[in-house]
Structure formats: structure tokens, C-alpha cells
Chains A and B, each alone.
Chain A
Amino acid sequence: MMKKLVINSAWCKGCGICAAFCPKGALEVVKEKVRRKEGTDCILCGQCELRCPDYAIYVDETKEDGNA
């Protein structure tokens, strides 16, 4: 099982909730879109996914054969 953080910028409205409540400070909002902050660690806890009102950020779990 592979986990990765996915950001769907097309749906992001830049409210900043995910970045504010990220326990590792691993997100930042630039020009009303969220992105991963350089030099920080994402621990794939999924706190951002829980509170994103726009479903624009989530932890994707992909099986090893590459299929969802």
C-alpha cells in the first residue's frame, strides 16, 4: 500500500484551513491555492482531508500494482 498526498488545485479556493491545522506545518497558501511547503515533512495524517471544505486535498492510497 502506497500513500501519497494529492492536491487538486482546480477545486482549491485557498481558505487556508488545511495549512492552519496541519500538525507539521507542511502546507502553504500561495496566490489563493494550497501547495506543499518546501523543506517540510508530510506525515500523511490526513488532518487536511478531514477539514477541507472543497475536497481539494486528500491522502491517496494506491495498491502496489498501481490501481486505486
Chain B
Amino acid sequence: MAGVNMTGVSPKTAQVSDLIWKYMRPENMPHIWCPGCGHGIIMREVAQAVENLGIDRDKLMIVSGIGCSSRAAGYMDANTLHTTHGRAIAFATGIKIANPELEVIVLTGDGDASAIGGNHLIHACRRNIGLTVVVMNNSIYGMTGGQYSPTTPTGEFGTTAPYGNIDRDFDVAQLAIGAGATYAAKGSVYHVPQTVKLIENGIKHKGFSIIDVADVCPTYYGRKNKKGSAVNMMQYQKDNMVPADKAKTMTEEELKGKIVVGLLKETEYPEYTEEYQKIIDRFVKGAK
């Protein structure tokens, strides 16, 4: 288990699949997430992506902020850090600069990433630092009781929007692209194999990558907006999925309520820690 033997995997003592046994801490399960909450599915998608890439768990760093989603750092078995609200990307930036050899994955919620931590998000995008940010986007603040978040669609309800939300909602992936992210994709909890692949490519990508995953929160978002059970919400994702390539040809009006899945952007730009190393090398050479 954690701390004892990070690279090897001990024989199973709980009734779980090999993947979960390897990447999770079964002693902390069952987790606290509500029945039907998609966070567990996204956490598994991340574990599967890491497994597919064969990343050594000693080189894997999971960082999270605050919120339902951010409990993930406590459930995953790797180097993990559970930080303060909205600051997961800030902590992750520090970790990456000090240890560029680590694969740093940030697991965060929509509020944590785009509201409280919005500042850190845009500047990490701008710097193109080699982090992989997975946004568990359930369009609501779950842990604190269903307040509307920056990704709650206009007109939808939350405990703090009893007459409907009049704010315009953020598209987190587009926000990141606007701020200079070099890899941006959108996944969902229904389209698991596709999302695993998008996370995998995001981890492989050199530079900042963000995967905005459409999540389901049946307890708050579902109840407040009469979306039905977790099954109904997953079925909605299945029925309303639009591939990213097709979405590019559609208007904003046509895309309303659709679940976009696929790669939105992938470009190359110098990675921050490499540029930083060049400056260190220049001075080390100069000192000799």
C-alpha cells in the first residue's frame, strides 16, 4: 500500500479489480461521493489513462483543491497532495518547477478550477507549464449544498439561483484555449473509452493540457433542475453527444445543451520548465 511499496503491487486483500487495487486506496472505500456521482467514473478514467501509458507511480503526482471532486487525491494511491480551495494548479506549478520529471495531474472541480482558481488556471495556460488538468465539471458546487457555479448554464437552477441563473456560463475548455492552453479536450462520464484516450493524450502532450469532463451530479444539479436520476443524466449525455469535429461547424445556438466530446486544440509551444532549465544552465555555465 501507500508508502510501503509504491512501484510493486501487493496481493489483493479487497474485492476490487486489478486497476482499482493498483491506483486507489481501498482502505478509504467506499468513497463519500453520492450514489450515481460521476466523480468515481472520472477518477477511474484517469487511473486507466495512467495504466495505459505505463507511468511509474513514483513519478506520478496527483494534486487536488477543495470540493467534492478534490477528494480524489485521498482515494488515489500515488504521490498525492490535497491543497487549498482553487490553488491546486498553483501548488502543482510549484511541484512541476521543482520536479520536472514528475507527471503532475490536477484533479479539480468546475468551481475550484474556473471560479476560485480561475486566476491560476489562466496563468498556467499562458505559461504552458507541463501539467494535465482534469476538470470534473458537474456544473454546480456540490459539497457546499448546490450553489450555482461558473459553469451552470444560464436559466438553470441552484440553491443560490432559485429563480434561474442569470449569469452566462463559462466553457472551461474554450476559456483555457483563450488563455493559451496548448492542449484542450472535452470528455464525459458516459463516453469512457474516448475520455480515457483524451486524458492519455493530454498526459503525453508536452505543455499545459486540460480535459474538461462533463460530469453528473444527481443529488444537487439533478434535483434542482429536474434532470432525474444518475441514469437519466447519463442517458442524456449519450443522446446529446456531439463529436468535437462536428461541433466546430455548429452555431452556439445549435450547441446549447449538447455534450461535446473530443479534441478541441493541440499545438506546440515551448514548455515552461524546459525554458526555465535553459536559464539555469546558462548561469551554471557562466559560473564555471
Q: A16 to chain B: closest CB distance in Å?
A: 5
Q: Interface size for chain A: under 10, 10 to 19, 20 to 34, or 35 or more residues?
A: 20 to 34
Q: Are B40 and A21 in contact (CB under 8 A)?
A: no
By a CB distance below 8 angstroms, the chain A residues around B40 are: 52-55
Contact flags A47-58 to B (C-beta < 8 A → 1, else 0) = 001111111101
Within 8 Å by CB of B234, from A10, A21, A59, lies A21
Contact flags B17-29 to A (C-beta < 8 A → 1, else 0) = 1101000100001
Within 8 Å by CB of A53, from B17, B39, B235, lies B39
Stretch of B50-58, B86-94, B170-178, B189-197 on the interface side: B189-197
* Contact status of A15 and B35, CB under 8 A, knowing A10-B30, A51-B189, A55-B44: yes
Question: Is A68 in contact with chain B by the CB < 8 A criterion?
Answer: yes
Contact flags B212-256 to A (C-beta < 8 A → 1, else 0) = 000000100000000001110011000000000000000000000
Q: How far does the alpha carbon of A56 sit from the alpha carbon of B29 in the complex, in Å?
A: 10
Count of B interface residues, CB-CB < 8 Å: 32
Q: Are B30 and A11 in contact (CB under 8 A)?
A: yes
Q: Are A13 and B235 in contact (CB under 8 A)?
A: no
| Most B CB within 10 A of own CB, among A10, A13, A52 | A13
By a CB distance below 8 angstroms, the chain A residues around B39 are: 53
Question: Is B150 in contact with chain A by the CB < 8 A criterion?
Answer: no
Q: Are B29 and A53 in contact (CB under 8 A)?
A: no
Q: How far does the alpha carbon of A38 sit from the alpha carbon of B8 in the complex, in Å?
A: 39
Q: How far does the alpha carbon of A53 sit from the alpha carbon of B235 in the complex, in Å?
A: 15
Q: Are B15 and A6 in contact (CB under 8 A)?
A: yes
By a CB distance below 8 angstroms, the chain A residues around B31 are: 54
Q: Are A53 and B41 in contact (CB under 8 A)?
A: yes
Within 8 Å by CB of A54, from B15, B30, B190, B229, lies B30
By a CB distance below 8 angstroms, the chain A residues around B12 are: 68
Q: Are A15 and B189 in contact (CB under 8 A)?
A: no
A47's nearest neighbour on chain B, judged by CB, is B192
* Contact status of A17 and B193, CB under 8 A, knowing A53-B37, A54-B30: no
By a CB distance below 8 angstroms, the chain A residues around B16 are: 8, 55, 58
Question: Is B36 in contact with chain A by the CB < 8 A criterion?
Answer: yes
Contact flags A15-56 to B (C-beta < 8 A → 1, else 0) = 111001100000000001000000000000000011111111
Q: How far does the alpha carbon of A11 sit from the alpha carbon of B12 in the complex, in Å?
A: 16
| Most B CB within 10 A of own CB, among A14, A21, A50, A58 | A50
| Most B CB within 10 A of own CB, among A50, A52, A53, A61 | A53
Q: Are B33 and A53 in contact (CB under 8 A)?
A: yes
Q: A11 to chain B: closest CB distance in Å?
A: 4
Q: Are B30 and A53 in contact (CB under 8 A)?
A: no
Q: How far does the alpha carbon of A42 sit from the alpha carbon of B235 in the complex, in Å?
A: 21
B230's nearest neighbour on chain A, judged by CB, is A15
A10's nearest neighbour on chain B, judged by CB, is B30
Q: Are A55 and B234 in contact (CB under 8 A)?
A: no
Which residues from chain A sit less than 8 Å from chain B, CB to CB?
6, 8, 10-11, 13-17, 20-21, 32, 49-56, 58-61, 68
Which residues from chain B sit less than 8 Å from chain A, CB to CB?
11-12, 14-18, 20, 24, 29-31, 33-41, 44, 189-190, 192-193, 218, 229-231, 234-235
